[in-house]
Amino acid sequence: MTETHEKLPATAPVDTGIPLWRQYFELTKPRLSLMSVITAMIGYLAAVPYSFVDWPRMFFVVLGTALCAGGVASLNMYMESDLDALMKRTADRPIPSGAVAPGSAFIIGWIMCIAGLAVLFKLVNGMSAFVALATIVAYLAIYTPAKRWSRWNTEIGAISGALPPLIGWAAAGRSNHLLGWTLFAILYTWQMPHFFSLCWTYRKDYAAAGMKMLSVLDPSGVRVARRAFIWTVLLVASSLLPTLWGYCSWYYFSFAAALGLWILKSAITFLNPEKRDTEARKLFFITLGYLPLVLGLLVIDRFIFKF
């Protein structure tokens, strides 16, 4: 049996009791957008020596990335408003709740994306704007539709999620090529345990919306947990590469290895069917702590030891 999802009508916003400005702010998925901004900033800081950091330039990297990320989030909410209305955890989002008209989200999203690309192109450089544009296209034209028709949507979507560090890397002049692509690898592999644990926790929601998530197609969770574990191993390996490439010290290596054991332990426990439900949430929150720690250590290490 197939389901037909139609766009919500462009009706006038309704009063939900939440200030309208906050509803529009929620359109930008601030927590998710903040992750893109932070990783773009880290990509810039990691790619240049501390003495060569151009702080005004970094500000425009942050501003341009923030506008692009917020715009993409708004357009994503517009494109998935029908699916959001079918899931408990997203039914109260601005569009399905009726607080924001779909047309408003569409217009705001494109204005923010265009403004962000303009900031990067005019005030940073053309390559950073190109990477940001590639991120927008990958997220909206490939990842967002893929959730409706492919169980590989997580692997596909991780490409767009791993590109923000390369915005910062491009802004820094594209030096340290291996480090730039290592940051991409860390972000790409990190998203797997992060989203596989999330999609297992909310598998009933995804099933109700008819989304082709692996957790919906694999009710036992065996393949979900196995893939989360394999990608966690690759994540830990990727996090150690900066030292092996000569971009960080062995102090960074030691701390990154310790963080790797922390997240790997949870991924191993996630393989246990008796503990899978509880460990899924734990692994998700561990991934939230792991990423800023390992990336923060990388930047601090490069500044302290003048790499």
Same fold: 17-175 with 177-307: no
Per-residue model confidence (pLDDT) at position 46: 87
Instruction: Write out pLDDT tens, residues 60-102.
Output: 999 999 999 999 999 999 999 999 999 988 899 999 999 999 9
**Sequence-distant (≥ 6) Cβ neighbours of residue 16 within 8 angstroms:** 23, 92, 97, 98, 99
- CATH 3.40.50: does it fit domain 177-307? no
The CA distances from residue 132 to 4, 176, 194, 288, in Å, are: 33, 19, 23, 23
- Among 6-15, 158-167, 223-232, 240-249, the least confident range: 6-15
Per-residue pLDDT, averaged over 34-38, amounts to: 93
Evaluate whether 175 touches 48 at the Cβ level (below 8 Å): yes
Is the pLDDT assigned to residue 12 strictly greater than 60?
no
Q: What DSSP character marks residue 1?
A: -
Within 10 angstroms of residue 169's Cβ, the number of other Cβ atoms is: 29
Residue 3 DSSP symbol: -
pLDDT at 263: 98
Over 70: is that where the pLDDT of 143 sits?
A: yes
Q: How confident is the model at residue 51 (pLDDT cuts 50, 70, 90)?
A: low
Annotate 186-227 with DSSP letters as a single string.
HHHHHHHHHHHHHHHHTHHHHHHTT---HHHH-TT-HHHHHH
Q: Is 211 left (phi over 0), alpha (psi -120 to 50) or beta?
A: beta
- C-alpha distances in Å from residue 144, one per residue of 63, 150, 158: 24, 10, 11
Task: Note the pLDDT of residue 102.
Answer: 94
Gyration radius (Cα) of the chain, Å: 20
Residue 307 has pLDDT above 70, yes or no: no
**Mean pLDDT score of the chain, rounded to an integer?**
91
209-235, pLDDT tens digit by residue?
Answer: 888 898 999 999 999 999 999 999 999
- Give per-residue pLDDT as tens, 169-211: 999 987 778 888 999 999 999 999 999 999 999 999 999 888 8
Percentage of the chain lying above the pLDDT 70 cut: 93
**pLDDT surpassing 80 at residue 3:** no
User: What would the mean pLDDT of 36-46 be, rounded to a whole number?
Assistant: 93
Q: Structural domain boundaries of the chain?
A: 17-175, 177-307
Q: Which one-letter DSSP state was computed for residue 28?
A: T
For residue 177, the model assigns a pLDDT of: 84
User: Residue 108's closest CA among 91, 121, 95, 123?
Assistant: 95
Q: In the chain, what percentage of residues exceed pLDDT 90? A: 76
Q: How many CB atoms lie within 10 A of CB 118?
A: 13
pLDDT digits (tens, 9 = 90+) for 114-136: 999 999 999 999 999 999 999 99
CATH of domain 17-175: 1.10.357.140
